[in-house]
Structure 1
Amino acid sequence: MPLPAKAFQLWLHGVAPNESTADICRISGIKRTTLAQQLVRGKVAETTLVSISRALKRSPLDDLASFDSYAELVGPPQPPTKAELVSQIATMDLLRAVISRSSPAYGGFGDEGSSLTPALGPAPHATSVRNWVDSIDDGELRHRVSAATGIAPQNYSAQLTANRLSPELAVATARAAGVGFTGGLVATGLITEAEAGWPAQARQAALDGLSDGDLTALAGERLQSLGKTLRRQEQEHEQTKKIWENLG
């Protein structure tokens, strides 16, 4: 939920009383027109707050928690589950781990739980949001989120397919799943792992803790999902191509 402009201005005056709007925009990289438009509409995007908080060397998580709509973020964050951490590892990194653990004949080290795999890419990745929701879904999560927020199930699914989720829905999803709120905020890219309070090597440790069987099964599931996405994109491309050909 976008932040109320009046509450945002009070917060900004409190954290940067001596800075002008021009100064704030300059140090945070936000266009003055963008901030002005948000203030006129009476709704300021969470990304705007986070950018300013970072620029002022503050905690974006704590600053978000100072607003009523994100008051649930107050206090020490609940750590992510192992499944959530693994969900924020890109598919290509999972495949590299599979190869690394394979026998030397296949170019690997043959060491189960090996930490010799290349450094993981940063979170979020191309399917972070959908993977995060899948990692905490007990089969009824989407229905609970829909009932609690009023969002139509098809609209919620459309956001997941596009790997997109508003911060408000990310928090609502975490609440419905009974997990910490930082997982969804990291998956959507609103805050970083460090800002969420995750240990520096948390994702790597979660990956190393997977057995060879679990790792291979997960990589296979990710590849199958990727294959479906690519086939759908190919079909859409062919359909678009035919339309243009018919139009001459």
Structure 2
Amino acid sequence: MPLPAKAFQRWLHGIAPDASTADVCRVSGIKRTTLAQQLVRGKVAETTVVSISRAYGVNPVSALAGFEAYSLLAVPAPPTRCELVSQISTPDLLRAVLSRSAVDPAGRSAERPPLSPAPHATSVKNWVEAIDDGELRHRVSAATGVAPQNYSAQLTANRLSPELAIATSLAAGVGPAGGLVASGLITEAEAGWPPDARQTALDGLPDGELTTLAGDRLQALGKTLKRQEHDQEQTNKIWENLG
């Protein structure tokens, strides 16, 4: 949900009282035309607040929490284990499976590579699936008025608007920041996640659970690739017929 321009201007004056619009844009990397258009429309994007917050050394989560639509962020909550695991990429899961089974001649486990930073290629969909009790999408749709198919389309595209991310967290009963991390609006550190939280969650997975999860991810990836290949074949046939 875009933020009211008047509330944004009050917030901006609070963190940069002597800065001009040109100064703010230069420091934050936002185009002046982009900010001007948002102010004229009376709606400022969350990404604008995040960029300016980072530029002026303000935690983006704290900044967003100052706006009514994101007041839930003022009460931090730790991520659940399933949320943390959902933010581990499929290649990292596969490496973990291989690492646990690899032992050198001295009997030592293979060296553990660091995890890739969140988000990853399917982080949004994985996050929703991790906290879904089977009725989550219907509750989100009822609460926001967003049609289930439109909601699913965002997940398939690995994106989720900040408004829907907050609504999803609320409907699932988890901390409010998880969806913002999964969608890439904020970082793990900005959300208050410990630096080793994802790795700890991964290490806590039993071998069977880890292997099953990696297999499910591979199966989902295979379906996606097949669908893309089919779409490409159809596109090629159309061009052949036109040519």
Shift of 1:104: 3.6
Cα shift readout 1:185-243 (whole Å, capped 9, x = no counterpart): 10011110000000000000000011111110000000000001000100111111111
User: Where do 1:1-248 residues align within 5 Å?
Assistant: 1-75=1-75, 77-104=76-103, 116-248=111-243
Distance 2:77 2:102 in 1: 38
Distance 2:94 2:72 in 1: 36
Distance 2:108 2:231 in 1: 41
Distance 2:57 2:13 in 1: 16
Distance 2:102 2:94 in 1: 14
Shift of 1:182: 1.1
Distance 1:110 1:235 in 2: 45
Counterpart of 2:213, as a letter, is L
Distance 1:233 1:43 in 2: 36
Distance 1:166 1:117 in 2: 34
Shift of 1:53: 0.3
Distance 2:184 2:133 in 1: 24
Give the alignment's Cα RMSD to 1 decimal. Answer: 1.4
Aligned to 2:58, the other structure's residue is in SS state coil
Counterpart of 1:212, as a letter, is D
**TM-score, length of structure 1 as denominator length:** 0.95
Aligned to 2:154, the other structure's residue is in SS state helix
Distance 2:39 2:9 in 1: 9
Shift of 1:42: 1.1
Shift of 1:144: 0.5
Q: Which runs of 5+ in 2 are unaligned?
A: none
Cα shift readout 1:68-127 (whole Å, capped 9, x = no counterpart): 11111113x10000000000000000000011011449x9x785xx8x421000000000
Q: Which runs of 5+ in 1 are unaligned?
A: none
Distance 1:242 1:154 in 2: 28
Distance 1:121 1:191 in 2: 16
Distance 1:233 1:117 in 2: 33
Residue-pair matches, total: 242
